Amino acid sequence: MHPGIAFSIIVDDLAVKVIYTSHFAERYSQARSKKPAPSERIGDELLQTKITEALPQIKDIILADPSIEGVIISRKTGMAIAFAARLTDAGGMTVAMKTILSSREFVPKSIRDYIVRINPSLEVRFLKVFSESMRLFVMDTLSDVFEELEDDASYHLRSEMVSYWVERNGNIFEIDEAEWLKDVYEIVIR
């Protein structure tokens, strides 16, 4: 996969151009933090199919709000893709895929507790109700930095998408506050 224009398609008479950013292409093809690359589970063809499946919902939103950010969550593949979309001056739509992560690494133990499959396995407890995409992005960023966090301490962490407070007690991480750093639409597909 290479950054740049991935494909173009017509969605309900609207010309749509899908772009893979360099960060998206890198995250798709590279393993990180002892996790396999998403490309090992999700081939290029399936990735394009899932993005195409989400485009009608993105189109409906963007006609009311000409520049949006969001997350596509695929229940079947267990992936989440952050995107930015905007209407173009030519009357079409451009959708840039920003990053990808796999929710298969995050196994629900209960409604609010998750096991994060890295070595060692972590337990993440959400002390309040958060959206699925919020939980995924918190767990994804946490799995990158958990080794740097001291035991019995609280931290304020942030990524490009989310900001949150986490308290570490051994291999248990409790999240009681989290917020999107920008307005985010959640697109759920099968």
Tokens 């998750």 correspond to what residue? Answer: 114
142 lies in which domain range? 104-180
Query: Does 89 lie in the same domain as 50?
Result: yes
Residues 99 and 9 in one domain: yes
pLDDT (tens digit, 0 to 9) for every residue of the chain, 190 residues total? 889 999 999 999 999 999 999 989 988 888 766 667 888 888 899 999 999 999 999 999 999 999 999 999 998 888 889 999 999 999 899 999 998 877 655 666 776 677 766 667 788 888 888 888 888 888 878 888 888 999 999 999 998 889 999 999 988 899 999 999 988 899 999 8
Q: Which backbone phi and psi does 159 adopt, to 5 degrees? A: -125, -170
The phi and psi torsions of 23 (rounded to 5 degrees) equal -65, -40
Q: What is the pTM of this model?
A: 0.80
**71 and 161 co-located in one domain:** no
Number of folded domains that form the chain: 2
Q: Peptide bond before 120: cis, by omega within 30 degrees of 0?
A: yes
123 and 90 both lie in a single domain: no
79 and 170 part of one domain: no
Same domain, 132 and 108: yes
Residues 37 and 82 in one domain: yes
Residue 129 near residue 114 (C-beta atoms within 8 A): no
Among 160, 162, 159, which residue's Cα sits nearest to residue 177?
Answer: 162
Quick one: 23 and 89 in the same domain? yes
Tokens representing 174 are 């409790």
